[in-house]
Chain A
Amino acid sequence: MAGAIARSVANPVRRLRLRVRGAVQGVGFRPFAYRLARRMRLSGFVLNDGAGVLIEIEGPDADRFPDMIRNEAPPLARIDSIDVLELDPAGGEGFDIRESLVGRSATRIGADAATCSECRREQTDPSSRFFGYAFVNCTHCGPRFTITRALPYDRAQTSMASFPMCAACAADYADPENRRFHAEPVACPDCGPRLSHPIAGVAAKIAEGGIVALKGIGGFHLLCDARNDAAIDLLRTRKARDRKPFAVMVRDIDAARALARLTEAEEALLASSASPIVLVEPRAHELSGLIAPGLARTGIMLAYSPLHHLLFDALAESSHCFPALVATSANPGGQPLVADNAEAERRLAAIADLIVTHDRDIAVRADDSVMQVIDGVPAFIRRARGFVPEPVDIGTDGPSVIAVGADLKNTICVTRGREAFLSQHVGDLDNAEAIRFQREAVSHLCSILDVKPEFAACDLHPDFRSVRIAESLNLAVVPVQHHVAHIAAVTAEHQLSGLVLGLALDGHGFGADGTSWGGEMLALDGHRWHRAGSLAPLPLPGGDRAAREPWRMGVAALQAAGCIALAPQLWPGDSGVAQLTAMFERGTQVPVTSSLGRLFDAAAAITGVRRVQSYEGQAAMEFEALARNPRVLQSGFAISGGRLGFHPLILHLALQDQDAPAAADLFHGTLIEGLAEWAAEGARNLGTRRIALGGGCMMNRVLAAGLARSLRERGLDPYLPRLAPANDGGIALGQAAFARQVIVNEYASVEESRTCA
Chain B
Amino acid sequence: LSHGAGGRAMGQLIEGIFHKAFDNDWLRAGNDQSAFSVPGGRMVMTTDGYVVSPLFFPGGNIGTLAVHGTINDIAMAGAVPLYLSASFIIEEGFPLIDLERIAESMGSASREAGVPIITGDTKVVERGKADGVFISTAGVGMVPGSLDLRADAARPGDAVIVSGSIGDHGVAVMSKRENLEFDTAIVSDSAALHGLVATMVAAGGQHIRLMRDPTRGGIAATLNEIASQSKIGFHIDEEAIPLKPEVAAACEFLGLDPLNVANEGKLVAVVAPDGADAVLAAMRAHPLGAEATLIGHAVADENCFVQMATSFGGGRIVDWLSGEQLPRIC
Contacts and interface: CB of A to CB of B under 8 A. Distances in A.
From DSSP, what is the main secondary structure of chain A's interface residues? mixed
B255 A543 contact: yes
Given A432-B317, A435-B303, A516-B327, A240 B255 contact: no
A543 B312 contact: no
A541 interface: yes
Contact of A407 (B310, B321, B328): B328
B178 interface: yes
A715 B97 CA distance: 69
Contact of B327 (A334, A508, A582, A588): A508
A193 interface: no
A378 interface: no
B316 interface: yes
Nearest to A506: B330
B271 to A, nearest CB: 24
A465 interface: yes
A333 B313 contact: yes
A406 interface: yes
Contacts of A240: 312-313
A727 interface: yes
Given A435-B303, A543-B255, A582-B181, A728 B319 contact: no
B314 A462 contact: no
A540 B330 contact: no
Given A463-B328, A544-B327, A430 B317 contact: yes
B134 interface: no
B253 A507 contact: no
Given A432-B307, A543-B255, A588-B179, A508 B314 contact: no
Contacts of A464: 328
Most A-side CB within 10 Å, residue of B181, B307, B328, B330: B330
Nearest to B180: A583
A408 B327 CA distance: 12
A547 B329 CA distance: 7
A9 to B, nearest CB: 67
A597 B330 contact: yes
B178 A583 contact: yes
A586 interface: yes
B330 A727 contact: yes
Interface in B170-197: 178-181
A508 B328 CA distance: 7
B316 A430 contact: yes
A559 to B, nearest CB: 15
Interface in A382-438: 406-409, 430-433, 435
A461 interface: yes
A335 interface: yes
A548 interface: yes
Most A-side CB within 10 Å, residue of B254, B255, B305: B255
A580 B181 CA distance: 10
Contacts of B326: 461-463, 510, 516, 543
B315 interface: yes
Contacts of B328: 407-408, 461, 463-464, 508, 544
Interface in B160-174: none
Contacts of A482: 330
A510 B327 CA distance: 8
A589 B329 CA distance: 21
B311 to A, nearest CB: 9
A463 B330 contact: no
A541 B327 CA distance: 11
A1 B312 CA distance: 74
B315 A332 contact: no
B40 to A, nearest CB: 45
Contacts of A126: none
Interface string B282-300: 0000000000000000000
B36 to A, nearest CB: 44
Nearest to B325: A543
A583 B178 CA distance: 8
Interface of A: 240, 332-335, 350, 406-409, 430-433, 435, 461-465, 482, 506-510, 516, 518, 540-548, 576, 579-580, 582-583, 586-589, 593, 597, 616, 696, 727-728
16 contacts: A333-B312, A350-B313, A435-B305, A435-B317, A462-B322, A463-B322, A464-B328, A516-B327, A540-B327, A542-B255, A544-B327, A579-B180, A579-B181, A583-B180, A588-B180, A589-B178
Given A333-B315, A461-B328, A463-B321, 10 more contacts: A240-B313, A332-B313, A431-B307, A432-B303, A432-B305, A432-B317, A545-B253, A583-B178, A587-B179, A597-B330
